[in-house]
Homo-oligomer: A and B are copies of this chain.
Amino acid sequence: MQYRRLGRSGLQVSELSYGSWVTYANQIDTAAARECMAAAYDAGVNFFDNAEVYAAGRSEVVMGEALKALGWPRMSYIVSTKFYWGLAEGPNQKNTLNRKYLMQAIDGSLQRLQLDHVDLVFCHRPDPGTPVEETVWAMSDMIRQGKALYWGTSEWSADEIRAAWEIAERHHLHKPVMEQPQYHLFHRLRVEQEYARLYEDIGLGLTTWSPLASGLLTGKYRGGIPADSRGAMEHMGFLREQLTDPAKNEAVAGLDALAREIGGTVTQLAIAWCAKNPRVSTVITGASRLTQLRDNLKAAELLPRLAPEVLARIDELTLALAR
């Protein structure tokens, strides 16, 4: 496993990392989480992504228990959480980045994770109902109080990220260092175009999510929605149309052939393609089974085989379908 700087910061993250979204506390319990985390750690993964909202807080509980059982040195791994969606109804408890929610939320996350600080803390979405300045102060205060080490954003616009950075610079506060955007073969324009200036201007790092487009890029939806897949879950219905898009699934078939040519699977090719972008600090992969996790991590071996001509063929197959 290779490590990369998180943008211009000095933090080193493994190029592939492991996130608990969807799976933890839903599909897998603490024992399974512990097994997967141990396998990832042994493979060199040092970043374990989480969020308050994942499984409504239980994903943090599961990861906290697993971490406790695993007993790794605190310095050797990176844990994140994210705030925005909230855990309860109520005007200051969901869909907000106001000071009240953020300052009270971090204490809840640390308690669930059984940690005294997280390494990374994200604003999980932008909140047009709170001034960026209020959010920047609260995130910076979390760091000043020792409850987090670095902060960043997830799915913010380039303009919002720059606003946060400039406000922090002007008021001598801790600046955002990373963004967590969706990034995969069918969703690449924000990372490649909208954020283009931010990498040099403010040193933005990226921890990208959904490298497999919710499973579309595994090829498993080429023949419809399998009964045991995420696409079949009731609360994931919003994904169904995209997962069964015929043109995209045809492109996946082409990628599948290409992946075999270079000795991998389409899944590995899709993950490796994300990591090939030098602006990407780490590609977060999920897994509900150990075999799946190990398969995903083999994408690292495919990375050196993504030669310019391979990348050109990938673009040919997918670029027209990407947004």
Binding site for B on A (CB under 8 A): 3, 5, 8-14, 46, 73-76, 78, 88, 90-93, 96-101, 103-105, 119, 127, 129-131, 134-135, 137, 141, 144-146, 149-150, 171-174, 203
Do A98 and B10 touch (CB < 8 A)?
Answer: yes
Contact flag A46-B171 (CB < 8 Å), given A78-B100, A150-B99: no
Closest to A141 in B: B144
The residue from B75, B100, B129 contacting A104, defined by CB atoms under 8 A apart = B75
13 A-B pairs in the complex with CB atoms less than 8 angstroms apart: A5-B129, A10-B97, A11-B98, A12-B91, A12-B98, A46-B90, A75-B90, A76-B88, A76-B90, A76-B93, A99-B149, A99-B150, A100-B119
**Which residues of B sit under 8 angstroms from A127, Cβ to Cβ?**
10
The residue from B46, B103, B135 contacting A92, defined by CB atoms under 8 A apart = B46
Do A96 and B172 touch (CB < 8 A)?
Answer: no
The 10 closest A-B pairs by CB, nearest first: A10-B130, A10-B98, A12-B91, A3-B91, A171-B172, A75-B104, A75-B93, A76-B90, A11-B98, A100-B149
Closest to A171 in B: B172
10 more CB-based (< 8 A) A-B contacts, given A5-B129, A10-B101, A99-B149: A3-B91, A9-B99, A10-B98, A11-B92, A11-B99, A14-B91, A75-B100, A75-B104, A99-B150, A172-B173
**How far apart are A320's CB and chain B's nearest CB, in angstroms?**
38
Complex Cα distance, B143 from A103, in Å, reads 11
Complex Cα distance, B13 from A171, in Å, reads 27
How many copies of the polypeptide does the oligomer hold? 4
Closest to A175 in B: B133
**Which residues of B sit under 8 angstroms from A97, Cβ to Cβ?**
10
**Which residues of B sit under 8 angstroms from A92, Cβ to Cβ?**
11-12, 46, 75-76, 78
Point out which of A5, A74, A75, A141 has the most chain B C-beta atoms below 10 A from its C-beta: A75
**How far apart are A174's CB and chain B's nearest CB, in angstroms?**
7
**Which residues of B sit under 8 angstroms from A98, Cβ to Cβ?**
9-12
Closest to A172 in B: B171
**Which residues of B sit under 8 angstroms from A105, Cβ to Cβ?**
75
Do B99 and A75 touch (CB < 8 A)?
Answer: no
Complex Cα distance, B75 from A104, in Å, reads 7
**Which residues of B sit under 8 angstroms from A8, Cβ to Cβ?**
131
**How far apart are A156's CB and chain B's nearest CB, in angstroms?**
15
**How far apart are A13's CB and chain B's nearest CB, in angstroms?**
8
Do A9 and B145 touch (CB < 8 A)?
Answer: no
**Which residues of B sit under 8 angstroms from A73, Cβ to Cβ?**
88, 90, 93
**How far apart are A2's CB and chain B's nearest CB, in angstroms?**
9
Do A12 and B96 touch (CB < 8 A)?
Answer: yes
**Which residues of B sit under 8 angstroms from A134, Cβ to Cβ?**
9-10
**Which residues of B sit under 8 angstroms from A99, Cβ to Cβ?**
9-11, 149-150
Complex Cα distance, B129 from A119, in Å, reads 18
Do B88 and A10 touch (CB < 8 A)?
Answer: no
Complex Cα distance, B75 from A145, in Å, reads 20
